[in-house]
Amino acid sequence: MGSYYFLICLLPPLPSVPGEKLQLPFSELSRMIRQHIQPADDAILRGHLSVIDAANFESREQGRELFLEGGSLSREDLEAGRNLPEFIRAFLEEKERGIRRVHVHDRLWELCYETLLELAGKTGCRYLLDYIPWEIELRNRLTALRLRESGGNAEEHSVLPELRGFDFTVLLSQIEAQKNPLAAERYLDGERLKQIYHCQGNDPFSLDALLAYVSRAMIYDRWERLQEPYDMKNFLYGGG
């Protein structure tokens, strides 16, 4: 893992708070980073961006028009089934045999995160090994919170359950105290930004710092795309 002094200095500063405009669109930031990434780190970067590909694949399968720019796959790739990452191919194979999940795309995300963590482990990527389990557990706890209100079974929707234990007691109580969903989203992304900072390490020009920059940019990009009135189907406790 080499130093990314030149690339990180080349990238523009990110907004100070969610909702402010990015100096460059996320698609352009992603292109710049992919263009300058060292060959040895290309796979881990693409793995990190695969959460965008997973979201776009799920949207397409559900017949939604939403397409997030900046992932490894273009809209044309998805439509043609071309250059699909291994986890999507594995999902399609399992789907053809019959996936026994209440929500079939929970398995898509499980495969996505499983592949990313395996890659992070092989490459020793400390940032992803620390941050992604936190994001997965947050996803599971938020799912459980929503299903508790509707009477659903959270265990049926868990993704890689009990991967690592985190105490979300205060976070969840703050979510429940919010007066509207948008305020809850703002609080959640504030907590994500804190966790990203905590996991990125001390070297501001490392691969970990670069991947943390990508994670932050994903959050700010989502808020920039948010329009009023917003569509909760496209903006619901997302992360990366």
| pLDDT tens, residue by residue, 162-191 | 777 899 999 999 999 988 888 999 999 999
**pLDDT higher than threshold 50 for residue 236:** no
Secondary structure (DSSP) of 64-88 = -----TTSSS-HHHHHHT-S--HHH
Give Rg (Cα) of the chain. 17
- Tell me the C-alpha distance between 215 and 190, whole Å: 13
Is 151 contained in some domain? yes
Is 181 contained in some domain? yes
pLDDT of residue 200: 96
Q: Which two tokens stand for residue 194?
A: 């804190």
Contact (CB, 8 A) for 109 and 54: yes
Is 39 contained in some domain? yes
> What is the torsion angle, in degrees rounded to the nearest 10, for the CA atoms of residue 120, residue 123, residue 127 and residue 132?
0
Q: Which two tokens stand for residue 100?
A: 């026994």
Is 8 contained in some domain? no
Using the CB atoms, write b or e for 198-217: b if 16+ within 10 Å: ebbeeebebbbbbbbbbbbb
Please give the tally of structural domains in the chain: 1
pLDDT of residue 46: 96
Is 234 contained in some domain? no
pLDDT of residue 146: 85
**pLDDT higher than threshold 80 for residue 115:** yes
Percent of the chain with pLDDT over 90: 73
**pLDDT bracket for residue 237 (50, 70, 90):** very low
- Tell me the C-alpha distance between 2 and 145, whole Å: 41
Instruction: Please report the beta strands in 22-169, taking only residues with DSSP state E, as ranges in sequence order.
Output: none
pLDDT digits (tens, 9 = 90+) for 45-94: 999 999 999 999 999 999 998 899 999 999 999 999 999 999 999 999 99
What average pLDDT does the chain have?
90
72 is in which domain, residue-wise? 23-225
**pLDDT bracket for residue 227 (50, 70, 90):** low
The number of beta carbons lying within 10 Å of the beta carbon of residue 78 is 20
Is 144 contained in some domain? yes
Is 17 contained in some domain? no
Mean pLDDT of 111-126: 97
Is 155 contained in some domain? yes
pLDDT of residue 2: 54
